[in-house]
Amino acid sequence: MSLAAAVAAQGFAVITAPDLVRAAPSDPWAVAASLAGEPARMLERQPIRAVKGGQTFASGHGPAPLHTDSQLYRGMPAHWQALFCVQAARQGGDTVLLDTRAVLAATNGTPLFDALFEVSRHLPFVFGNLEGPTIARAGEAVVFTGTPRVEDDVGRALVPIYERLPKTTLKLQPGEVLVVDNHRMLHGRTAFEGPRMLERILVWLTSPAPVDPWLLSRARGRLDRPLDRADVVLPDELHARAIVSDMLRGVPPGVLATRHSLSEALLYVLRDRYA
């Protein structure tokens, strides 16, 4: 079975690929193509390791609640999240996965089930806010969006459901790669001790797996990025293209935001315009 078929079947797959782990920081496009079996449409690289004073999930030691990586590229979150394990934590640091198909089954026949498709929500993320239903249409894809910050009735209603549903817990070992269907699976992390080093690559696929026709017909709402409607000052085009070029080479968004005194949210607006 191919990697893509395995991910489509169960929502995630783990492979042992030390060569890809070593190459992920320096050649993310080739690594993504190797995983997908074809060139990626878009990607984004982010190192995941704790640093002194780190304030985000990617840079801290603490637990990360269940969520999706919902950065948009032309209206679409990444199809895959790939984690490359360089160094496992001494204790903890396990990846936790929850299949949203179980969430749908658990809520079927309740008002919350309909709300997942019909209630437009404010969805806050560190990379910028989104608006739209929990389960949205993005082109020919259906996307379940999970924010780590619960601020509304739908989010609060989902918390106890997430807690009681069975989850998959994985402790990646050095040289292993976890590939997750980012439209279907929620992921999180347990707290950890000691050094832990991973590389994350978000992959927008050229030829994604087909979507369940029922879901495609049921999901009608779309994800929206409010910043696209805001009156913001953009860098001049030459500067913006240089920033996007660095982003496409694999420079992490947080590094670019600090280097150019921009918000991470604005980077995605620039990527849509100039990539």
**What pLDDT, on a 0 to 100 scale, did the predictor assign at position 147?**
95
Does the pTM exceed 0.85?
yes
Nearest CA among 169, 147, 203 for reference residue 14:
169
User: What sign does the dihedral 12-209-131-83 (CA atoms) show?
Assistant: positive
**Amino acid at position 98, single letter:** L
Whether 54 has a pLDDT exceeding 60, the answer reads no
* Structure tokens that stand for 153 in this block: 């009735």
Q: Is 97 helix (H, G, I), strand (E, B) or coil?
A: strand
Q: What is the mean pLDDT of residues 160-181?
A: 97
The more confidently predicted of residues 219 and 151 is 219
Q: How far is CA 15 from the centre of its chain?
A: 19
Please give the backbone phi and psi of residue 149, each rounded to the nearest 5 degrees, phi first: -110, 120
Pair of tokens at residue 241: 């293209």
Count of helix runs (H) and strand runs (E) in the chain: 10, 17
* pLDDT value at residue 50: 80
pLDDT digits (tens, 9 = 90+) for 71-121: 999 999 999 999 999 999 999 999 999 999 999 999 999 999 999 999 999
The DSSP code sequence of 57-92 is TTTSSS-EEEE----EETTEE-SEEEEEEEE--SEE
